[in-house]
Amino acid sequence: MKDWPLWEVFIRSKNGLHHKHAGSLHAADAQMAIENARDVYTRRNEGNSIWVVKSTDIVASDPEDGDMLFEAAKSKIYRHPTFYQLPDEVNNM
Amino acid sequence: MNNNLYQYLLQLGDNALILGQRLCEWTGVAPELEIDLALSNIGLDLLGQANQWYEYAAELKGGDATPDTIAFLRDAHEYRNVQLVELPNGNFADTILRAVIFDTFNLLLHEALTQSSDQRIGAIAARAVKEIGYHARYCKNWTLRLGGGTEESHQKAQKALNDIWDYAFEALTPGPVDHWAKEAGIGPDLEQVKSKWEATLQQVFHQASLQIPKPGFVDRKAKSEGIHTEHLGYILAEMQFLQRAYPNLQW
Amino acid sequence: MQDIDVKSLETAFQDRIDQEIKIEPRDWMPEDYRKNLIRQISQHAHSEVVGMLPEKNWLTRAPTLKRKMALLAKIQDEGGHGLYLYSAAETLGVSREEMVRDLLSGKAKYASIFNYPALNWADMGVIGWLVDGAAIVNQVALQRTSYGPYSRAMIRICKEESFHQRQGYDICLQLARGSDEQKRMLQDAINRWWWPVLMMFGPHDSASAHSAQSMKWKIKRVSNDGLRQKFVDQTVPQLEFLKMTAPDPQLKWNEERGHYDFGEIDWDEFWNVVKGVGPCNKRRLAVRNKAHDDGAWVREAANAYAQKNN
């Protein structure tokens, strides 16, 4: 006997916000995954929209590539507003 | 007190309570953890609905009546639920088939009750109908999975349907209180509900490749005279134990 | 991999832990860290699931509609928490099926507390108040555990559990204000659960097989004895408010230490129950095994249906 496939659940707590990863669960099919997500992850009125995706369908970056992928962005300090000094007289930019 | 209205509220409340009580029995032992949580959610909805119907009934009754006195201090012959909801859970197919038959009826009933001439009933039904809509869909989806799953699940689902089909019609067979409710514009014409119910179930069972059995024995007195199966006595003995063993206490 | 590489990976790993950087599923981790986590998280998950059974025992006999609803919601949460924890363990490469198999065969452990019977209605109050209370003390500490998915599950669980202990204490309060018979029920339940609850924090730190390494890896954050003391300190005033007593003549406030002193746990009983010789071990496992076996055809049917309709 095999477990039902694992699904990742994303819940949007209210309109205007992103769907956010809530956790995972097992379900045999997509409809069941939605219903299980409703029963498992919205018992306390946590959401108004649910996404489910099979865990095996998620492609993730390799942690070993972390430096290569993400270090480069750390040095680009000129992308951040705090890099630029404004005279006190000029506000709200 | 309007005894017809009181009895009508008991029908609604008792169906919800007894089915809710049955679903409590699945807690901790469902076929999978996710199903355990789903059945608990349905149970919680039903217990909440029972509580609301009983609150209204208790107000009508007046005196010391509360939802708890109504739930815990009546004997079986005073209960107004249909026999279908008191049937034992059996295996998962028995529970799901019982649910799909009852929930399909219950959804149509509550849809109609949202238009009730009694505003309080309309308001309670408006809240309940959303919950019951989900129950009906959940159980329909499981009926399709069991009917169309494996040979074993198909057989179990068909057997469950055969075993309980005789109990399906009591809810749709109007008793004196249903006639009163229809005349008063409080509840629907059950004949109309029945034709929609049959159409919906025919579609579900067809999709699930299940054969609808021929109706056998239907206890026509059940609803009008409060006749129950032998199971209800045991359900109440368990449910009411503390209130009966230690009367008049706060818990 | 060369020994030298593993050595440097281990050093880097411990550095991250020491800096309170969470470890995430695909990060490199020592094999023992993974094994220890799987053991601890799955044990925790099993406890939640088996823990549904003592309370389920009174669910159908709850004395009012409100108590029945609150109890059902609470037991349901426990199932949910088991599910979150199985999910967290699954990120470490073990399947729920494998974990459940180990539970059902008796290979995996779960909290011994659930091998004690729930004998009267007051047990529902005392389980919520003391058992959940003890669990919360432990779980609050675990929110800061070093493994990301475990920590996130614990945060969610702690948030949801906040009503559980109150739900239990509320039952106790009602009984404490009730008839002599109700007070007797409450005292009886406290007498039976008190020591097993103190055992929930595990053996003394000096006798705990996994403690030292688990603390270093921050899988555990506070020692068994430290948590036990914290629990006793916060519980005694609640007990006194109920005008009930604990079955421990040595329980008293120690001004000098600023803590309550309490008697020694019966460690023979503790190890017996851990090893499976408790009052309900066989029954609890038999119920779980039956549920699992009875549910097999349902799980299979859903798989078959999904394959046909894909």
Contact B27 C72 (CB under 8 A): yes
Question: Is some CB atom of chain C closer than 8 A to the CB atom of B33?
Answer: yes
Nearest CA in chain C to A3: C97
Q: Are C5 and C128 a contacting pair, CB within 8 Å? A: no
Cα B140-B19-C293 angle, rounded to 5 deg? 65
Cα B96-C59-B141 angle, rounded to 5 deg? 15
pLDDT digits (tens, 9 = 90+) for C130-186: 999 999 998 998 999 999 999 999 999 999 988 999 999 999 999 999 999 999 999
User: Considering CB atoms only, which of A29, A31, A40 is closest to B34?
Assistant: A40
Distance CA C230, CA A30 (A): 45
Residues of chain A contacting residue B37, judged by C-beta atoms under 8 Å apart: 36, 39-40, 43
Average pLDDT, chain C: 94
Rounded to the nearest 5°, which phi and psi values hold at C186? Answer: -65, -45
User: How many C-beta atoms surround the C-beta of residue B98 within 10 A?
Assistant: 26
The pLDDT of C232-250, averaged and rounded, is 98
Q: Are B111 and B41 a contacting pair, CB within 8 Å? A: no
Question: Is some CB atom of chain A closer than 8 A to the CB atom of B37?
Answer: yes
Task: Give CATH for domain A6-83.
Answer: 3.10.20.520
Determine if residue C68 is left, alpha or beta; phi over 0 gives left, psi from -120 to 50 gives alpha, anything else beta: alpha
Residues of chain C contacting residue B36, judged by C-beta atoms under 8 Å apart: 52, 76, 79
Nearest CA in chain B to C289: B29
What integer pLDDT is reported at residue C2 of this predicted model?
Answer: 63
Distance of CA B114 to the CA centre of its chain: 18
What integer pLDDT is reported at residue B137 of this predicted model?
Answer: 97
pLDDT digits (tens, 9 = 90+) for C91-128: 999 999 999 999 999 999 999 999 999 999 999 999 99
Q: Name the residue with tokens 């300090």.
A: A77
What integer pLDDT is reported at residue C210 of this predicted model?
Answer: 67
Residues of chain B contacting residue A29, judged by C-beta atoms under 8 Å apart: 145
> What residue ranges do the domains of chain A occupy?
6-83
Average pLDDT, chain B: 96
Residue C239's alpha-carbon distances to C111, C126, C176, C189, in angstroms, are 23, 11, 10, 12
Question: Is some CB atom of chain A closer than 8 A to the CB atom of C97?
Answer: yes
User: Considering CB atoms only, which of B36, B145, B243 is closest to C302?
Assistant: B145
The subunits that touch chain A, with at least 3 C-beta pairs less than 8 Å apart, are B, C
What integer pLDDT is reported at residue C211 of this predicted model?
Answer: 72
Is residue C223 pLDDT above 90, yes or no? no
Separation in Å, CA of B179 to nearest CA in chain C:
30
pLDDT digits (tens, 9 = 90+) for B26-72: 999 999 999 999 999 999 999 999 999 999 999 999 999 999 999 99
Q: Are C88 and C148 a contacting pair, CB within 8 Å? A: no
Q: How confident is the model at residue B187 (pLDDT cuts 50, 70, 90)?
A: very high
pTM of the model: 0.95
Contact A35 B145 (CB under 8 A): no
User: Considering CB atoms only, which of C59, C63, C76 is closest to B251?
Assistant: C63
User: How many C-beta atoms surround the C-beta of residue B30 within 10 A?
Assistant: 22
Nearest CA in chain C to A32: C302
Q: Kindly state the percentage of chain B with pLDDT values over 90.
A: 94
Question: Is some CB atom of chain C closer than 8 A to the CB atom of B232?
Answer: no
Which H or E element spans position C184? Answer: helix C180-199
pLDDT digits (tens, 9 = 90+) for A35-70: 999 999 999 999 999 999 999 999 999 988 888 889
Contact A40 C156 (CB under 8 A): no
- Mutation target vs B (from A9, A38, A39, A45; most B CBs, 10 A cutoff): A39
What integer pLDDT is reported at residue C243 of this predicted model?
Answer: 98
Question: Is some CB atom of chain A closer than 8 A to the CB atom of B145?
Answer: yes
Q: How confident is the model at residue A1 (pLDDT cuts 50, 70, 90)?
A: low
ipTM value for the complex: 0.97
Q: How confident is the model at residue A17 (pLDDT cuts 50, 70, 90)?
A: very high
- Mutation target vs A (from C101, C299, C307; most A CBs, 10 A cutoff): C299
Separation in Å, CA of C79 to nearest CA in chain B:
7
Separation in Å, CA of B37 to nearest CA in chain A:
6
For residue A66, count CB atoms less than 10 angstroms from its CB and return exposed for 0-12, middle for 13-18, buried for 19 or more: exposed
Distance CA C123, CA C190 (A): 8
Separation in Å, CA of B168 to nearest CA in chain A:
26
User: Considering CB atoms only, which of A4, A25, A43 is closest to C303?
Assistant: A4
Separation in Å, CA of C147 to nearest CA in chain B:
24
Could you give the domains of chain B? 3-245 (1.20.1260.10)
Nearest CA in chain A to C95: A3
Distance CA C13, CA C19 (A): 10
Nearest CA in chain B to A32: B141
